[in-house]
Structures are given as structure tokens and as C-alpha cells.
Amino acid sequence: MRHIISILLENEAGALSRVSGLFSARGYNIESLTVAPTEDASLSRMTIVTSGSGDVIEQITKQLNKLVEVVKVVDLFEAPHIERELMLIKVRASAKDRDDMKRMSDIFRGRIIDVSEDTYTIELTGTGQKLDAFIEALGRSAIIETARTGACGISRGQRVLRI
Amino acid sequence: MELSGAEIIIKCLQAEKVEYVFGYPGGAVLFIYDELFKQNKVKHVLVRHEQGATHAADGYSRSSRKVGVALVTSGPGVTNAVTGIATAYMDSIPMVIISGQVPTHAIGLDAFQECDAVGITRPCVKHNFLVKDVRDLALTIKKAFYLATTGRPGPVLVDVPKDVTVAKCKFEYPETISMRSYNPVVKGHSGQIKKAAQLLIEAKRPMIYAGGGVILSDAAPQLTKLVRTLGFPCTNTLMGLGGFPATDKHFVGMLGMHGTYEANMAMQHCDVLVAIGARFDDRVIGDPAHFGQMPRKIIHIDIDPSSISKRVKVDVPIVGHVPDVLDDLIKLIETGKQRPEPKALAAWWDQIKLWKTKDCLRYDRKSKIIKPQFVLEKLYEITKGDAFITSDVGQHQMWAAQFYKFDKPRRWINSGGLGTMGFGLPAAMGAQLANPGATVACVTGEASFQMCIQELSTCKQYRLPIKVVNLNNRYMGMVRQWQQFFHGNRYSESYMDALPDFVKLAESYGHVGMRIDKPADVESALKEAFKRTDELVFMDFMTDQTENVYPMVGGGKGLTEMILAEEL
């Protein structure tokens, strides 16, 4: 099953490789991994999308907690949560396709953030599924380039991940 | 007053009351060695290869409960040390390794003797640091000692670039330390301990299975008390030997791949199992699916939550410092009115005694060729079971574990997790330095011994009167055994031709060498060797080439699928 694990860790050189090294050494899956400093610059927040049985996820969280630089770990799937991913996608938009492409972007609540003679660059956020659906709807031939951030998530309501 | 980084390192080691540093100098650590030279509180032991430094620091730690410290140079110095670091990591041994690094401005430029020490060691240390600023040095070393010794212990590496050893700053060694990201659980959950006590009292076929965690946390007195209070059978893992007295009537022997028949059978057929400082390793329980066929309740006490429910699902997990948890558990049982039902327990013991009649460790005592088991029995007798025994890896290691009855913790020193050949001799050096005047013997084989044979020179330099018991069967015995059992007797590359004359070799290093060919000479040779309390004696026992370690659970097999001597 798919899980989103959020980690607060010391914002230190090498911390990322300890986490990614743990996943590769123990054969755990990483679907996506995002990391950036938090409002407290001494801490980074990492979001890992992984998959595995309940036992595997339990081991993953235990092993992550064991890493000295990891401060806190939560599995967002344990409670209601919100998940978002950002995609920048450059699509073909020459004269005859231009209006269609604009409409398609609007339908998916995308924003066109760069325009050239033959292309649009669209910014789109949503769940991974929504981004997949957009790609599907455009069709392979319309797409020139995509850049996706991987998922980032946060719990709903009172549940927080902070020190 | 400002001190240089090199001075700070030495001051920190002094503050940590480090007695010995095992190391080997080189370019990147020259300033540190210069400071070592100027003082005499921290003694340096010059090994002949950095692998020896880490194993010696490891053996020192295992035999003394102190932190083992190694000092190596950059590049090949640290890569040579990796085997020893990984060995310590697998067995959770508290060690601090200080490695030199090329100057900060040269890092990443493929400088001479540069390697990414932090990157290379990352998967085999509890934690590691690269110190880029001399002002962080003292705090980092404090953290290293703190991390190495608390929670589940392990090796910590501190990589120090050469310019950092030269740079100066004000020195202050922190008294205490706290890290927001590192707070190991100490106290066991009282509700869980209550549940465990209840399960133990209701058990009809109980079993106590204790591992290396008991040794590392110094919980042998508590374990012994628990077992004797309850009257339950107790088994130790390879790493746990000595955690419970082997001569006690409750001890059923080591369990696992080469465990006793009775220990493995009891482990499989018990209804309540208490795992203490153990991790259901593949060499201990074999195939987890086979192990899981039998219904039983499992209580698991361990400092490391990730060891719990890793290979085997447990019913009552208790995370905490083993001696504290056991104290709480004993108190609950002692103050409670209930006791395990004596009738059921007696029936269980009858069953175990029946299993014991298999006499699974028997061997041919009339053999005209020296049987390795016989040598170990005699070693036990002559040292009165009171020696520090280190071993290498292979058949001799298993026979030592089976035939030397360890009554005290920290007397049995071997590489259980990583299985590092070459561990025995340098580990014995560490054990001898930590326990001057004590009897230290290294049980080894001719293949393992040659992996760190150069340390014979170190033994001479520091006058370490280790007794080397070499069980020489001219084979990599355990490899040969597997090839015999599972590879159709095709002894692919497990025979070693052109062995040295070990007697002459020992003599050339300035030690005493003895060669023993006949069973009748075993006892007298051992007596003679152990009389020489101020010399290293290398005893080369020419043993039976065909002898196998029994019982044996084949790789991936179930714990009770044992090959016994009679079946072949």
C-alpha cells in the first residue's frame, strides 16, 4: 500500500544521504522524495512516498527514527491529510492548438506561466493522480517537457509535525 | 588559551579517560600523532594494519565495557578500518574511530589519500561526522562518545581534515550533552511489563532466549536472577554466551544453526518465549515461516525498537534498557503471589531432558587424529573456564561456542554478526590490554588466522602473552562442510595449499611455537603453553580434516530441521 512519510530532520550536510541510503540498503521503495528547510532553518522537512505492507512501513518508520539526525517521523496515512504535487509542463501550442491548450489548462485549474511562439508552460498543482490525469488528457504528442516535484503532504486539522 | 585541533583531540580523549588508542599514523594525522607523543596519559598501540586497529579497539571494548578507540589516517587508512567498523556495527560495540582527512580546501578534488570516509562508512556506523571547523571539534567528539555508548551502542566515526588539526580555538569540553534528535528510550513501559509477567506466570512451556544485548547492557545478574526465580530453561545466542552461566542447570546450551538439539527443540515448542536483547537472526531461528508454524506468545525486550517485529512478529514488545526492564519484571514476579504451575513446568523439563539424551555434541573420543572438540574441552579444563576467549570465524568458532562453558559475561569475544575472519588475534590484543594479567586465548583456524597474522608483530612489541589455539585442518573448514553437505563434496577452493610452518613463523616474530599432532599430547601442550604467562604461545593443533560441526540447521531451513552426527 502507498504511504506518505513526513520527516523532520536536522538541516545538515549528509542527512539526505542517510535517509536515501537507508532506503536503498534495506530495499525499501521510494516513489518520490522531496526536501526543503522549514521556517526553522535548522530543520528540514522531507516527504517520502513509499509503498509496502504494514510490517514494512512499520520497519521503515522505526529505521528512520533510529537515524541520529532524524527528529520526528509521521506516517501521514494514519490520519486525514492533504497531499499536493507541483508540475511544470511545457506543451506544444502553435496557432491552431493554442485555444484548446488554454482551455485544457483552465479545466485542470492550471496557470500558464510562460508563453512562446509555439509553446505554453503550465503550472499545475494537485494530487499525483490529478497531474497524471492532465498528462493523459493532453496526450503524449502535445508534451515537450515535464518537471514534477513529487508529493508533499500535511495532516488535516490539529495533527501537526513540529518539535 | 587557544589549542590546536590536534591538541583538542588528545584533551578530549583524556577527558573521556581513554586508556588506549589503537592506530596507525599517516600524513593526515601527523599533527594528532605529534600531540600523542607529547603526553603519556593516552597510550597508543601501533598495529600492523588498520583492520587490526579497529578489531583491537573492538576486543578491548567487548572485554571491558569501555569505549574502544581507533585512530587511522585518511584514504587507505580508513578503508582498511572499514571491515573492523562494520564488524563492531553488526555486534553493536561502542567504538569511536578518529580518521584523518585531507585538508578542507582539498576535499572533493581527488587529493592524495583522499576518500569520502563519511560516505564509505555511513552504512556501517551508528553515526559519523566530518568536522570542518575546529570550533566544532570538542563538541563533536563528545557527541561521538555519547552516541557510541547510549541506546543501542555502536561505532561512531569522526573524520578530521588535516587543517582542522592545525587550526586553533578555545578549548572547552562539554560536561553533558543533549541532542534533540536523539533520545533513546530507557524505561520499559510498565503496562507491557505487567503483561509480560502475567504471560510468564501462566506459561506451561516457557523458554528464555537471551542475546548479545544482555552482555552489552551488563544485564547478566538480572537475567540469572530471572531464570532462577522462575526455574525456566534458558538458552543463549552466540553473542549472548556468558550472559547466563553455562554450568547452571537451567542452561540448555546455545541455540541456532549450530545450537544444541534441546535448545532448538525447546525454542520451537515453547508456548511462551522471552527474547531478551536478541533479534531473531537468521542464524538463530532459521526460516521465520517454519518458526512461525508453532503457536506461541512472544515477549521481546530490547533497547532498539527496530529489532522488534523485524523478522518475527511479537506479542508483547518492551522497549527499554534490558537490566532496568528485567529489574522491574523480577520485582513484579517476586511481589506477586502467583507462581508458574510446578506440574506443567516439571513436565516441560522432562521433555527437555529427553531431548538432551540425544547427546548432540558427542564426537569420537577414541580418534587417533586430534578432534577439535577435544582440544576445546581441554582448553576449558586447563583454563578452569576463566579465560577470555576470542575467536575467528568458522568451525573453530562454533566448537568454541559449544564446548567452552562461559559462566561470565564478556569472556566470549567473537564476530557474530558480520562473521569477520581475522578478528580473533587483534581482538585478543584488545582484551589482553584491557585485562592485564588475565588469561586470553584466541581460538582460530589456519585460514582465519592468516587474515590478520601481521598482528603477531604488535603482540611482540607490547608483550601480549596471548595463547593462540590454532585448529589446523588445512581447510576452510566451514566452507568445506557446506560443500560436503550441500555442494556434492566438490571442495571448490576451500583447501589451502602451501601453508606456512606456523611454529617457525611464530618463532620468527619472537614468540613460542608448538606443533601438536597426537591426541595424547594435547593436554600437556596446553598446560605447557598456559604456564608461559609472559609469552605468546602459538599452538598449532593438527586436527581431523573431516570433522563437521553438529548439529547443523542448513541455510534457510527450519530450526528443528537439524542434521545430527548420526544421520551421516
When pLDDT is cut at 50, 70 and 90, the band that residue B568 belongs to is very low
Give the pLDDT confidence score for residue B136 in this predicted structure: 97
- The answer for residues whose C-beta is within 8 angstroms of residue B233's C-beta and 6 or more apart is B206, B207, B208, B250, B251, B252, B266, B348, B349, B352
Is B145 considered catalytic here? no
Mutate to test the interface with A, among B118, B306, B310, B313 (most CBs of A within 10 A): B306
Rounded to 5 degrees, φ, ψ at B110 are 55, 45
The answer to whether the CB of B563 falls within 8 A of the CB of B550 is: yes
Residues B37, B112, B338, B504: which is the catalytic one? Answer: B112
The answer to whether the CB of B482 falls within 8 A of the CB of B551 is: no
**DSSP structural state of residue A9:** E
Is B112 considered catalytic here? yes
Q: Does B500 touch chain A (CB under 8 A)?
A: no
Residues B19, B43, B113, B460: which is the catalytic one? Answer: B113
Distance CA A87, CA A104 (A): 15
What cell was used for B273?
518465549
Q: Which residues pair with B450 in a beta bridge?
A: none
| Inter-helix orientation angle B137-149/B5-15, to 10° | 30
- Reduced to 3 states, what is the DSSP secondary structure of residue B251? strand
When pLDDT is cut at 50, 70 and 90, the band that residue B34 belongs to is very high
Residues B306-363 pLDDT 10s: 999 999 999 999 999 999 999 999 999 999 888 899 999 999 999 999 999 999 999 9
Rounded to 5 degrees, φ, ψ at A18 are -65, -40
Question: How far are the Cα atoms of B208, B243, B393, B560 from residue B563, in angstroms, in the given order?
Answer: 24, 27, 21, 9
Between chains, do B122 and A68 touch, taking CB under 8 Å as contact?
Answer: no
- Identity of the residue numbered A75: D
Q: Does B170 touch chain A (CB under 8 A)?
A: no
Cα three-residue angle B499-B503-B506, rounded to 5 degrees: 100
Q: Does B122 touch chain A (CB under 8 A)?
A: yes
Give the pLDDT confidence score for residue B497 in this predicted structure: 85
Task: Name the residue among B122, B126, B306 with its Cβ closest to that of A59.
Answer: B306
Give the pLDDT confidence score for residue B496 in this predicted structure: 81
Q: Which of B539, B553, B552, B565 is nearest to B364 (CA)?
A: B565
Average pLDDT for A35-52: 96
Q: Does B304 touch chain A (CB under 8 A)?
A: yes
Q: Which of A110, A19, A70, A63 is nearest to B181 (CA)?
A: A70
Mutate to test the interface with A, among B118, B126, B156, B181 (most CBs of A within 10 A): B181
**pLDDT beyond 90 at B1:** no
**DSSP structural state of residue A76:** G
The mean pLDDT value of chain B amounts to 97
B-chain residues within 8 Å CB-CB of A11? none
The answer to whether the CB of B526 falls within 8 A of the CB of B539 is: yes
Q: What residue in B sits closest to A43 (Cα-Cα)?
A: B181
**DSSP structural state of residue A26:** T
Q: Does B86 touch chain A (CB under 8 A)?
A: no
Is B50 considered catalytic here? yes
B-chain residues within 8 Å CB-CB of A62? 305-306, 308
Task: Name the residue among A9, A17, A59 with its Cβ closest to that of B122.
Answer: A17
A-chain residues within 8 Å CB-CB of B147? 68
State chain B's maximal CA–CA distance in angstroms: 74
Which class for A112: exposed (0-12), middle (13-18), buried (19 or more C-beta within 10 A)? middle
Which helix (H) or strand (E) element contains residue B459?
Answer: helix B455-461
Give the pLDDT confidence score for residue B408 in this predicted structure: 98
When pLDDT is cut at 50, 70 and 90, the band that residue A69 belongs to is very high
Distance CA B277, CA B302 (A): 5
Give the pLDDT confidence score for residue B567 in this predicted structure: 55
Q: Which residues pair with B272 in a beta bridge?
A: B206, B297
Cα three-residue angle B450-B517-B537, rounded to 5 degrees: 50
Residues B406-444 pLDDT 10s: 999 999 999 999 999 999 999 999 999 999 999 999 999
Residues B65-113 pLDDT 10s: 999 999 999 999 999 999 999 999 999 999 999 999 999 999 999 999 9
Q: Does B305 touch chain A (CB under 8 A)?
A: yes
Q: What residue in B sits closest to A61 (Cα-Cα)?
A: B306
| HSE-up of residue B152 (Cα within 13 Å, Cβ side) | 27
Q: Does B127 touch chain A (CB under 8 A)?
A: yes
The answer to whether the CB of B279 falls within 8 A of the CB of B253 is: no
Which helix (H) or strand (E) element contains residue A115?
Answer: strand A111-115
Residues B11, B66, B143, B162: which is the catalytic one? Answer: B162
**pLDDT beyond 80 at B566:** no
Please count the residues of chain A. Answer: 163
The answer to whether the CB of B111 falls within 8 A of the CB of B28 is: no
Rounded to 5 degrees, φ, ψ at B302 are -160, 150
Give the pLDDT confidence score for residue A97 in this predicted structure: 86
Q: Which residues pair with B98 in a beta bridge?
A: B71, B158
Is B162 considered catalytic here? yes
Residues B267, B478, B539, B552: which is the catalytic one? Answer: B478
Whether omega for the bond prior to residue B174 falls within 30 degrees of 0, making it cis, is no
Q: Does B289 touch chain A (CB under 8 A)?
A: no
**DSSP structural state of residue B558:** B
What cell was used for B283?
542464524
- Left if phi > 0, otherwise alpha if psi is -120 to 50, otherwise beta: which for B204? alpha
Between chains, do B306 and A55 touch, taking CB under 8 Å as contact?
Answer: no
Between chains, do A71 and B181 touch, taking CB under 8 Å as contact?
Answer: yes
Q: How far is A53 from chain B (nearest CA, A)?
A: 13
The answer to whether the CB of B63 falls within 8 A of the CB of B431 is: yes
Q: Are strands B562-563 and A43-51 parallel, antiparallel or unpaired?
A: unpaired
Distance CA B127, CA B94 (A): 11
What cell was used for B221?
545478574
